């Protein structure tokens, strides 16, 4: 797929983050947020049986906060484990179990992270990862439709997903976003190293990457 380099991609991210800030303060935000949370509940009902450990994220820069919904799900399903990512220096992510009230340490990017040295919170290989999108796109190739995530540009998730998918072929990777974040080919197209999403959750519902 086509690549986009340099300032154009940087400015696209900056524009999207500025739009997200405005959107989070808009009158329509709460209804659309609630629609995504409703979709999350439906996802957990449909896919929960195959998920023992679920990795979420601590929201930054107006990302949608899923923590309350997921804590409620874990509380009512005591065999389920929640986890948070920890960014390693080699730009891969490790995941550690997380419970409400745990002390989190800001990373150099300002993301609250678990303490990897906490003996009460072991490292886990999640069955499902929820990933917030700065932007997203879709592509159709032959009879397959894929959804792609535009992130902050560090490449952490792509490296981690490539490794985890080799170890856990049934891993579910779910992008979290809104319809207005959809990008067309003129704005951004996924690169060869980008890992596709298995599902994309927006206010319109759950969109699977599957035969088209």
Annotated binding-site residues for substrate read 63
Task: Report the distance separating Cα 71 and Cα 84, nearest Å.
Answer: 13
What's the number of CA atoms in the CB half-sphere (13 Å) around residue 143?
A: 1
Give the chain as a DSSP string: -----HHHHHHHHHHHHHHHHHHHTSTTHHHHHHHHHHHHHHHHHHHGGG-SEEE-----TT----HHHHHHHHHH-TT-EEEEEEE-TTS-EEEEE--TT---EE-TTS-EE--TT-TTS-EE--SEEEEE-SEEEEEEETTEEEEEEE-SSS-HHHHHHHHHHHH-TT-EEEEE--GGGB--TTT----TTPPPBSEEEETTEEEE-EE-
Sequence-ordered list of residues with C-beta below 8 angstroms from that of 81, at least 6 positions apart, any chain? 52, 53, 54, 74, 97, 124
Binding site per annotation, positions: 63
Task: Report the distance separating Cα 80 and Cα 140, nearest Å.
Answer: 35
């Amino acid at each position: 797929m086509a690549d986009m380099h340099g300032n154009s991609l940087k400015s696209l991210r900056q524009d999207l983050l500025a739009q997200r800030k405005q959107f989070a303060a808009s009158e329509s935000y709460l209804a659309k947020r609630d629609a995504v949370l409703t979709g999350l509940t439906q996802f957990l009902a449909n896919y929960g049986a195959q998920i023992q450990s679920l990795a979420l994220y601590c929201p930054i820069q107006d990302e949608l906060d899923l923590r309350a919904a997921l804590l409620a799900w874990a509380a009512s399903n005591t065999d389920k484990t929640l986890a948070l990512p920890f960014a390693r220096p080699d730009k891969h992510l490790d995941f550690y179990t997380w419970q409400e009230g745990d002390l989190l340490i800001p990373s150099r990017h300002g993301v609250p992270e678990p303490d990897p040295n906490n003996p009460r919170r072991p490292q886990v290989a999640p069955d499902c990862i929820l990933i917030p999108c700065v932007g997203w796109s879709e592509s159709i190739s032959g009879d397959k439709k894929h959804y792609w995530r535009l992130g902050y540009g560090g490449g952490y998730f792509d490296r981690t997903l490539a490794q985890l998918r080799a170890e856990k072929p049934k891993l579910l990777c779910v992008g979290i976003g809104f319809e207005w974040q959809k990008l067309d080919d003129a704005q951004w197209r996924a690169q060869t190293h980008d890992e596709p999403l298995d599902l994309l959750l927006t206010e319109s519902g759950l969109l699977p990457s599957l035969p088209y």
